């Protein structure tokens, strides 16, 4: 009976993870597009509207990184229960903390060109790579994990 309960919890966790991964590619695409427009606008001028969009983009990144952390915990739990889980597919997100610290330093020194460059040449490629990894996780769970 205990084993059946554990299997049910694993199945519920797997289903919750897969459901959470359904919308994430679209969310990342929207965030990527928004950050790209914001970076371009930041190069031209630094008005209240641009900073508002930048703030929204940074909030989006923060929530995405929090989601990745929770997802990683869930995947590691499934892996610990003996399920084959494609955790390596999302390892690219590990470098996000360093990028955000570097971006914060540029932000604090009001180096808007560097902030724009970081968004365009560091953050956006990370989003694209991370999106592919999350799709791979979703596909891997769908194809491999059977409770």
Which two tokens mark 110?
A: 């009001």
State the residue range of the domain holding 140: 2-144
Q: What CATH number is associated with residue 71?
A: 1.20.120
- What is the Cα–Cα distance from 64 to 68, expressed in whole angstroms? 6
What is the per-residue pLDDT across 10-51, written as a single tens digit (0 to 9) for each?
889 989 999 999 999 999 999 999 999 999 999 998 899 999
The total number of structural domains that make up the chain: 1
Contact 7, 77 (CB under 8 A): no
**Burial class of residue 10 (count of CB atoms within 10 Å of its CB; 0-12, 13-18, 19+):** middle
User: Tens digits of per-residue pLDDT, 43-95?
Assistant: 998 899 999 999 999 999 999 999 999 999 999 988 888 878 877 888 888 88
């Amino acid at each position: 009976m205990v084993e059946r309960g554990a299997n049910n919890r694993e199945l519920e966790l797997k289903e919750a993870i897969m459901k959470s991964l359904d919308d994430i590619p679209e969310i990342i695409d929207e965030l990527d597009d928004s950050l790209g427009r914001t970076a371009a606008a930041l190069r031209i001028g630094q008005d209240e509207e641009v900073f508002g969009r930048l703030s929204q983009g940074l909030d989006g990144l923060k929530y995405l990184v929090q989601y990745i952390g929770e997802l990683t915990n869930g995947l590691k739990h499934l892996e610990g229960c003996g399920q084959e889980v494609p955790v390596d597919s999302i390892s690219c997100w590990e470098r996000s903390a360093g990028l955000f610290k570097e971006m914060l330093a540029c932000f604090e020194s009001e180096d808007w060109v560097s902030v724009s460059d970081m968004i365009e040449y560091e953050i956006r490629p990370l989003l694209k790579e991370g999106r592919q990894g999350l799709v791979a996780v979703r596909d891997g769970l769908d194809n491999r994990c059977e409770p």
